[in-house]
Amino acid sequence: TYTIAEPCVDVLDKACIEECPVDCIYEGNRMLYIQPDECVDCGACEPVCPVEAIFYEDDVPDEWAEYVSANIDFFNEI
C-alpha cells in the first residue's frame, strides 16, 4: 500500500484524491489518509502531491515511519 506522511499535515491539497482510481484516499481532520485495504498500489497519487507526502510503504523515510501505522489506525477508529 501507499501511505501519506507528515508533509500533508495541515496542507490537505487533495490533488491525490482526484487521481486515485479506486477512491481510497480519505480526509481526516489534519491530513489525508490512504485506506490500505483498498489501495491497489497503482502509484498515481505519488507524483501529483505538491508536498511529496506520499510514499510506497517500503519507501517511507524513517522519521515518518509512524505514519504507516497512523494510516492504518485511522480506518480502524472510524
Of positions 5, 24, 31, 60, contacts ligand SF4 by CB under 6 A? 24
Q: Does 42 bind ligand SF4 (CB under 6 A)?
A: yes
Euclidean distance between CA atoms 46 and 53, whole angstroms: 8
Q: Does 40 bind ligand SF4 (CB under 6 A)?
A: yes
Q: Does 15 bind ligand SF4 (CB under 6 A)?
A: no
> Are 75 and 10 spatial neighbours (Cβ–Cβ below 8 Å)?
no
In 10 A of CB 25, how many CB atoms? 21
Ranges assigned E (strand) in 1-78: 2-4, 25-27, 32-34, 54-56
Q: Which is nearer to ligand SF4, 6 or 46 (CB)?
A: 46
Q: Does 60 bind ligand SF4 (CB under 6 A)?
A: no
Where do contacts with ligand SF4 occur on this chain (CB under 6 A)? 2, 19-20, 22, 24-25, 34, 39-45
